[in-house]
A = this chain, B = another copy of it.
Amino acid sequence: MLETMLQNVRERAPLVHNITNYVTVNDCANILLACGASPIMADDPDDAEEITAVCAALNLNIGTLNARTIPAMERAGRRANALGHPVLLDPVGAGASSLRTNTAARLLDELTIAAVRGNVSEIRALQLGARATRGVDAALEDRVTEENLPEAIAFAQAFSQRTGAVVAMTGAIDVVADAERAYVIRNGCAMMGRITGAGCMLSAMTAAYLAANPGNFLEACAAAVCAMGVCGEIARDKTEALGAGNATFRTQLIDAVCNLTPEGLQERARYELR
């Protein structure tokens, strides 16, 4: 299953439109190229709508959102919806400010969102209106553990049922769910939290997997999450072998995505379907 998802990205080479924060935008562009897709960025309202039309998917990431990019997200989102392109929402920092929480909630409400990718705090903020995010990192009380896994799955599925979006709730353990099924994924490593943008890069890459695998969004999301986790492990091993730090890890992570084969992904992925 995972193999096909990645093969489709490589073969279809989807062009992904990203309206995303300027902190990690370069990494998002390079990881899209690494996985076999192509990036384009446009965030002026007049430009975004037209650019979306020449793409195959839209990645909306609200980190560093502003008064100009919010309408661009809305216009590009509506156009993508009209064209049947999958739209992914990354609610960076939802729960940390009202502008972020409200914007993410409104986008989710007004648009047809194919998938939401966020950490537990952010998904909680969208579901509960909670104000529990510690910056862009999951608050400690919001971690998915083996103990609270059943509750986390039920929570993700309730979110998916309400919104119609596949949800990729990522952390030490990842839960990728729609209203009926849930993948539990145990790849990845702590080092991914020591670089900026692991989440943003995953969201961009997930948008490419959605574009390349229409009609199969749950598996597409699960495959993207597995791929990122597997590549995180490969990058960690190389970084540790070099005695290097987080900047080397970032380079190794994108390199690993670039060199990942469908077979390698299938072999190293640790997931179960519940």
Q: Which residues of B contact A248 (CB under 8 A)?
A: 251, 255
List residues 1-49 of chain A with CB under 8 A from any CB of chain B. Answer: 15, 21-27, 29-30, 33-34, 38-44, 46-47
With A47-B65, A96-B40 in contact, is A247–B54 under 8 Å at CB? no
With A40-B93, A136-B40 in contact, is A100–B47 under 8 Å at CB? yes
List residues 118-163 of chain A with CB under 8 A from any CB of chain B. Answer: 133-137
Closest to A239 in B: B255
The verdict on A66 contacting chain B, using a C-beta distance below 8 Å, is yes
Give complex CA distance A100, B40 in Å. 13
Number of interface residues, chain A, beta carbon within 8 A: 62
Is there an interface contact between B23 and A23, defined as CB atoms closer than 8 Å?
no
Q: Which residues of B contact A15 (CB under 8 A)?
A: 134-135
Is there an interface contact between A23 and B26, defined as CB atoms closer than 8 Å?
yes
The verdict on A64 contacting chain B, using a C-beta distance below 8 Å, is yes
Give complex CA distance A68, B67 in Å. 9
Give complex CA distance A247, B32 in Å. 11
The verdict on A50 contacting chain B, using a C-beta distance below 8 Å, is yes
A124 to chain B, nearest CB (A): 15
With A47-B66, A55-B135, A134-B15 in contact, is A194–B255 under 8 Å at CB? no
Q: A22-B41, A41-B63 are in contact. List 16 more A-B contacts (CB 8 A).
A: A21-B41, A23-B39, A29-B196, A33-B195, A34-B247, A38-B135, A42-B64, A44-B99, A47-B65, A50-B96, A54-B96, A67-B68, A194-B258, A245-B257, A245-B258, A246-B258
- A-B pairs with beta carbons under 8 Å apart, 8 shown: A33-B195, A38-B136, A38-B137, A40-B93, A47-B65, A50-B96, A54-B133, A247-B250
Residues of A within 8 A of B (CB): 15, 21-27, 29-30, 33-34, 38-44, 46-47, 50-51, 54-55, 63-68, 93, 96-100, 133-137, 194-197, 243-248, 250-259
Listed from nearest, the 6 A-B pairs whose CB atoms lie closest are: A245-B258, A245-B255, A247-B254, A29-B196, A44-B66, A50-B97
